[in-house]
Amino acid sequence: MSNRTLPVNIQGNHACALGAVAAGCRFYAGYPITPSSEVAERMSAELPKVGGIFIQMEDEIGSMGAIIGASMGGSKVMTATSGPGFSLKQENIGYAAMTETPCVVVNVMRGGPSTGMPTRPAQGDVMQARWGTHGDHPAIVLVPSSVKEVFDETVRAFNLAETLRTPVILLIDEVVGHLVETIALPKASELDLVDRKWADGPKKGFQPFAVTDDMVPPMPRPGDGYRAHFTGLTHDESGFPTQKPEKVAQAVGRILDKLERHRDLIESYEALQTDDAELLVVAYGITGRSARKAVAMARDKGLKAGLLRPITLWPFPEAALKEATKNARHVLVPEMNAGQLCYEVERICGTERIARLNRFDGEAISPAHILEKIEELA
């Protein structure tokens, strides 16, 4: 992109807020929680300027409910939280998935479980982001690793949510959320923004959850005359509850399939020196940045190391991993948790080649730490 505005020094959480506004977010509901509160604070200042609405709700559950309600009304919406709040939001995230209501949920990860360490970094919510709500449900989870990437991925989160009518979760490391970097913000005209596909066909016989070619039916907007029904109960194409096995299978199957069908749109990753990599590091978020440095240091030492840094965590970029591990004898998965994404890597590459590097003491994993492990494996 060219013609950028002047570079600014900005914190990751603020970049998230600005990315949201740039993406067209006009409704934000939130609840104060460390280390995500700066997102809410920035939104409370930015949204009124563009005719949007900010509301601090009475609790995390209410925040999630309010953004879904506003999205059903036609707004692009977002909320931000951290671990404990993310747990509380899960039921309504499932509701958004079931009713195919676009929304962006930011989780600035902190140490857990429970209240854990509010001000310390961790990557312990990787599996919760995928499986936090009950039942089989789709999940798009994005993990930026820099302030610039926070901005870009926030915009992309909105585009994916609106295109695919599904909740999109943005996992931000506490370290990235509070990191101040100098970035150039793109101009509004430079952004490719997607607007939701709204129903505009005949009102009579309209099926709000019809099986369309792209698996994403147009959404009826209240006031446009469709008078549709939305429910978290398993529903058929009409939107009304059903328990017929074939209809249930079709309904749940479609909201899962629509992600599979659009993997090319969703998947995003950074592959660094993977062609000849005999040792591949798979790392994400702030750990991905450490890994990038570690791989460079390893290459300097003549070790054939490479990096696959998933930016889309879920659905996991499976083909990219397979490609990147073609020549790899070892696959190292450093994570700031007791081991979560490594299970997905093991599923794809088999357990034999996998090595883990885990840390859940509230400290980030340093390049030296990863290099040490690379050398150990080499």
Partner 1 sequence: MAVAESVDNFEINDYLRLEMMPHFLCPGCGHGIAMRALLWAVHELGIDKNKLAIVSGIGCSGRMGAYVDANTFHVTHGRPLAFATGLALARPDLEVVVITGDGDALAIGGNHLIHACRRNLRMTCLLLNNEVYGMTGGQVSPTTSENRLTTTTPAGNLEPVFDACKLAEAAGAGLVGREVTLQTPTLKDLIKEGLAYPGFAFIEVISDCTEIFGRKNDLGNSPEMILSQKKSMRPDSYGTVVDEPFRPNSLPTGVLARNDRPEYGETYRNFAKSKQGRAK
Residues in contact with partner 1 by CB under 8 A are 26-27, 29, 47-53, 55, 57-59, 61-75, 77, 91-92, 95, 220, 222-233, 240-241
Q: Is 223 helix (H, G, I), strand (E, B) or coil?
A: coil
| Tokens (6 digits) for 226 | 């469709």
- Asked if 141 and 284 touch (Cβ cutoff 8 Å), the reply is no
Rounded least distance, CB 42 to partner 1, Å: 14
Which residues lie across from 53 on neighbouring strands?
A: 27
Largest CA distance in the chain: 69
Rounded least distance, CB 5 to partner 1, Å: 16
Rounded least distance, CB 202 to partner 1, Å: 15
Q: Which is nearer to partner 1, 240 or 343 (CB)?
A: 240
Q: Which is nearer to partner 1, 202 or 302 (CB)?
A: 202
Q: Which is nearer to partner 1, 69 or 367 (CB)?
A: 69
Which residues lie across from 271 on neighbouring strands?
A: 308
- Asked if 242 and 130 touch (Cβ cutoff 8 Å), the reply is no
Rounded least distance, CB 53 to partner 1, Å: 5
Q: Which is nearer to partner 1, 48 or 253 (CB)?
A: 48
- Asked if 44 and 97 touch (Cβ cutoff 8 Å), the reply is no
State the DSSP string of 281-322: EE--HHHHHHHHHHHHHHHHTT--EEEEEESEEES--HHHHH
Rounded least distance, CB 70 to partner 1, Å: 4
Q: Which is nearer to partner 1, 2 or 243 (CB)?
A: 243
| Tokens (6 digits) for 375 | 């050398």
- Rounded CA separation 256/215 (Å): 10
Which residues lie across from 331 on neighbouring strands?
A: 280, 354
Q: Which is nearer to partner 1, 69 or 339 (CB)?
A: 69
Rounded least distance, CB 183 to partner 1, Å: 22
Distance from the first to the final alpha carbon of the chain: 39
Rounded least distance, CB 290 to partner 1, Å: 39
Left if phi > 0, otherwise alpha if psi is -120 to 50, otherwise beta: which for 152?
alpha
- Return all residues near 371 (Cβ < 8 A) that are at least 6 apart: 294, 297, 298
Q: Which is nearer to partner 1, 99 or 287 (CB)?
A: 99
Q: Is 245 helix (H, G, I), strand (E, B) or coil?
A: helix
8-state DSSP, 212:
-
- Asked if 74 and 47 touch (Cβ cutoff 8 Å), the reply is no
Q: Which is nearer to partner 1, 46 or 153 (CB)?
A: 46
Rounded least distance, CB 58 to partner 1, Å: 4
Q: Which is nearer to partner 1, 242 or 358 (CB)?
A: 242
Rounded least distance, CB 68 to partner 1, Å: 6
